[in-house]
Amino acid sequence: MYTATEFEELANGLPMPKGYRILIALPEVQEKTAGGIIRPDDLRKKEETASMLGLVIGMGPDCYADEGRFPSGAYCKPGDYVIFRSYSGTRFKVKGREYRLINDDTVEGVVADPTAFERA
């Protein structure tokens, strides 16, 4: 989990999402497993690409604005860890870290403890 300072540093220099897009920071894929086995580069790349969990960094001004589609309001806010569909959004890297711009309706849930999750 990020501290407030780390969150602000992460957000600096990134594109501001427009419209109904959400900017997500993906967690870094660890080089080693919990058991100490080193993951090959191609496996780490595959895990990064298929990621389905991330930190909401920013939201466009039109996110969740359609009351007909989102009668209960926004699904998430900046600072939340969310689950979203794998392979979704526009992928890009800044300083070696992967980010995505996803649609507001791609968020499927908010996660209290992202460290407890792993891809099935």
Compute φ and ψ for 76, nearest 5 degrees. -155, 175
CA 89 to chain centroid, in Å, comes to 10
Read off the pLDDT of residues 89-101 as tens digits, 9 standing for 90 and up. Answer: 999 988 888 899 9
Identify the bridge partners of residue 107 per DSSP, sorted by sequence position.
84
* In 15-112, beta strands by DSSP E: 21-25, 53-59, 81-84, 90-94, 97-103, 107-111
More confident site: 90 or 45: 90
Angle at 62 between CA 58 and CA 63, to 5 degrees: 55
Please state, in angstroms and rounded to a whole number, the distance separating the CA atoms of residues 108 and 20.
Answer: 15
Question: Which letter does DSSP use for residue 4 in this model?
Answer: H
Domain positions in the chain are: 4-116
What confidence tier does 104 reach under pLDDT thresholds 50, 70, 90?
very high
Count other C-beta atoms under 10 Å from residue 117's C-beta: 13
CATH T-level topology, domain 4-116: 10 Kd Chaperonin, Protein Cpn10; Chain O (2.30.33)
More confident site: 32 or 61: 61
Average pLDDT (65-75) is 95
